[in-house]
Amino acid sequence: PDIFDFIKVKRNLKSVRYANISIRITDEFMHAVENDTDFTLWYENEVNGRIEKKVRARELWKELVDSARNWAEPGLIFWDNVTRGSPSEYNGMNVITTNPCSEQPLQKYGACDLGHINLPMFLMDGFTEKAAIDWVTLEKAIRYAVRFLDNVLTYNDDKHPLNTQAEAARNTRRIGLGFTGLADMLVKLRIKYDSDKAVEFVDTLMDRMKFIAYEESTLIAKEKGSFPLFDSK
């Protein structure tokens, strides 16, 4: 219910520094924006009970968009999409939040083990009609990155501040392989960033990268054994 104040908190450059702020968005809210209807904001705990505030969904959406454009805050995470796409919604690994900068959805006490691939480095003949992804090199980098992050989990096993964190990391062996430089890659491929072609290209690119990472993870499990909470069913 105090989201309008939260959205504006970093406009005072002395109030909150060295931290990102993000908003968790649901399908229900986006449908309300699409249909231009009211939306009920709420917060509930044992001390205060339930607090509600009804707002016009598009009014809140406009504030979010304007703030992102003018102040580069807040970030948005579409949580229903996250849970639908999560491969770990079982055995207590259900994602409930993210790490502080929202790169990786996590379960309770989950480990944030992140690495990224710089996409423009894997292009051939950039800015020309022959521009294309060097898939042989990119696939190799993805496979190395998955193994590297898995090794980081092992290295960090005895270095967590809390035993619950160590246990969560050990039981799930969750990694986050991301990317940077997507806009630069699109420019070098001569694809307009906000075009339908760009959306289609990114969908294909991410699917292929994802399945290479999944395959390498499977090979690691074959070599070293699967993570403790894994269930193939």
Catalytic amino acids? 99, 101, 103
β-strand 105-106 against 49-56: which pairing, if any?
unpaired
SS3 state of residue 106: strand
E-only strand ranges, 57-199:
75-78, 97-98, 105-106, 114-118, 123-124, 132-133, 176-180
Tokens 């969560």, located at residue = 168
Cβ(56)–Cβ(68) under 8 Å? no
The residue among 41, 69, 80 whose CA lies nearest residue 57 is 41
What is d(CA 196, CA 193) in angstroms, rounded to the nearest whole number?
9
Which residue is associated with the tokens 């919604």? 89
Residue 161 in tokens: 């501040």
Dihedral over Cα of 94, 97, 99, 103: its sign: positive
Rg from Cα positions in the chain: 21
